[in-house]
Amino acid sequence: MYQEDVKDTLRGQLEISRERAISLGEEALRIIRNGYYDLPDNRRVDIEGYLDRSIKETQVYKQHVDSETYAGEKETIIKVQNQTTLAAVQEVIAVGEKPVALNFSSPSEPGGGFLRGSRAQEEYLVRSSGIWACLNECPVYFHSKTDLEDLQTTLHLFTGCGCFSR
């Protein structure tokens, strides 16, 4: 069983009000549109170049992806842990590795309901990063609600977006 302080930390990161989630979503869009954000000490962090590169590198895979095609030199390690996606990513970066995070994304709307205050995993990631810019520039990935019953489960989107503002 998880220690109570770890559970409380996770709850604090995830259990926010719908109004706060909407406000953070709107702030994320402002950061994306401006291409920067300001730190509490008034230093400015420019993310425009990172966002532009991430958008250009975003790819959609419509067919089954053969794992042999993408074999690398390093062993893949898969862990299931009770923590936020971003906490897991930070942990992997801290030991000098390059993480990959799986985002269970809405097939009909970039960012899911992040501007309506939804608080699932995709919305959490979109409120915290520039991922929305990559998703929004990839219309082939998204489908109308009437097309969802025909959606192939083998459709994947890859974005190298590493622009996180919180």
Three-state helix/strand/coil letters over 83-127 = CCHHHHHHHHHHCCCCCCCCCCCCCCCCCCCCCCCCCCHHHHHHH
Output the pLDDT for position 95: 92
Query: In this structure, which CATH number among 3.40.220.10, 3.40.50.970, 2.40.50.840, 3.40.640.10 belongs to the domain 4-158?
Result: 3.40.220.10
pLDDT in tens, 87-143: 888 888 899 988 888 777 777 788 889 999 999 888 989 998 888 888 888 766 665
Buried residues in 20-51 as b, exposed as e (16+ CB within 10 A): ebbebbeebbebbeebebeeeeeeeeebeebb
pLDDT in tens, 25-44: 999 999 999 999 999 999 99
Domain spans in the chain, listed from the N-terminal domain onward: 4-158
Output the pLDDT for position 20: 93
Quote the CA–CA distance of 124 and 132 in Å, as a whole number: 11
Give the single-character DSSP code of 163: -
Output the pLDDT for position 1: 43
Output the pLDDT for position 85: 86
pLDDT in tens, 65-81: 565 666 677 777 787 88
Rg, Å, the chain Cα set: 17
Residue 9 pLDDT greater than 50, yes or no: yes
Residue 10 pLDDT greater than 70, yes or no: no
Which residue would you say has higher pLDDT here, 34 or 9? 34
Q: What region does 103 belong to: left with phi over 0, alpha with psi -120 to 50, or beta?
A: beta
